[in-house]
Amino acid sequence: MPFCPSCEAEYIENTIECSDCEVELVSALSIKELENDFEWVPLRGVPGKTYAEMVTEVLDKEEIPNYIKSDALSTAYLTTGTSTITGNSIIYVPEKNKEKAEEILLLILDHI
């Protein structure tokens, strides 16, 4: 199924151009497989989303793909205490970028 690389709308077979963006459609399969061609590994937990976002900001600059997963379970546990505790956030990066990402994470956590 072809889809628009700009707005990600899917089109029926044999459509050539996105009617909204006027860009050439690409094959969904080839792109999506490329994007998912990572083995995602978790880094050390970060104490709170604010710190996690500091880390991912640097990862973005280094062009390391990443996403944050919040530890919902510990959030639920800890919210009975002070409201400042938001639980752990776990940052996921592609396996091949793990070493570099871990260095960045440690550098930032060192400054907390």
- Name the residue nearer to Zn ion (CB basis): 29 or 107: 29
| 8 A C-beta contact, residue 43 and residue 92 | yes
Assess contact for 11 and 26: CB atoms under 8 A: no
Minimum CB distance to Zn ion, residue 2 (Å): 11
Q: Find the shortest distance in angstroms from Cβ 64 to Zn ion.
A: 28
Among 1, 2, 3, 4, binds Zn ion (CB under 5 A): 4
**Pick 1 or 72: Cβ nearer Zn ion:** 1
> Sheet harboring 89-94: ordered strands across?
40-46, 89-94, 67-70
Residues 9-48 as x/- pattern, contact with Zn ion by CB under 5 A = ---------x-xx---------------------------
Cα-based distances in Å from 61 to 22, 47, 64, 66, 83: 30, 21, 8, 11, 31
Cβ distance to Zn ion smaller for residue 22 or 39: 22
| Separation of alpha carbons 77 and 89, rounded Å | 14
As a residue count, the chain comes to: 112
Single residue of 1, 7, 73, 107 touching Zn ion by CB under 5 A: 7
Question: What are the residues binding Zn ion (CB under 5 A)?
Answer: 4, 6-7, 18, 20-21
